[in-house]
Amino acid sequence: MLKPSKFGIIVVGALLIAVLGARPYASSWNDGSRLASVEALVDQHTWAIDDSIFVKVPPQDELNPYSLELPSASGTMDKMLIGGHFYSDKPPVLTLYLAGIYWIAQKLTGLTAAYDPHVFVYLLTVTSAGLAYVVSVLCIWFLALRLGLSADAAFLTTLSFGLATIAPVYSRQVNNHVMLLAVFSGIFLLVSSPRKHAALLGLLVGAAYTLDLGIGPVLVLSALIYACIKWRNPMSPGLCALGMLPFVALHHWLNYRIGGTLGPANANPQFFDYPGSAFSAQNMTGGWAHDSVGGAIAYAVGLLLGPHGFLLYNLPLLLIPVGVAGAWRALPEQRAELLFASFAGVGSWVLYTLGSNNYSGLAASIRWFVPLLAPAYFVLLLAIQVRPALLEQFKILTQFGVILTAALFWVGPWRNPNMLVFWVVATLSIAALVWSLWRSPKVPALGVPTSS
Q: Which residue has the higher pLDDT, 271 or 380?
A: 380
The answer, as to whether pTM is greater than 0.95, is: no
| 3-state secondary structure (DSSP) of residue 192 | coil
Q: What is the pLDDT of residues 208-257, one digit of tens each?
A: 999 998 899 999 999 999 999 999 888 999 999 999 999 999 999 999 99
- What is the per-residue pLDDT for 315? 96
In the chain, the amino acid numbered 105 is: A
Q: What is the mean pLDDT of the chain?
A: 91
Contact 353, 299 (CB under 8 A): yes
- Is the separation of the CB atoms in 284 and 356 below 8 Å? no
Rounded Cα gap, residues 148 and 146, in angstroms = 5
CA dist., res. 92 & res. 80, Å (int): 13
Query: In this structure, which amino acid lies at residue 345?
Result: G
| Structure confidence at residue 442 as a pLDDT band (50, 70, 90) | low
- Kindly report the length of the chain: 452
Q: Indicate the burial class of 348 (C-beta count within 10 angstroms; 0-12, 13-18, 19 or more).
A: buried
Domain ranges across the chain:
6-439
278-300: per-residue pLDDT in tens? 777 666 666 667 888 898 999 99
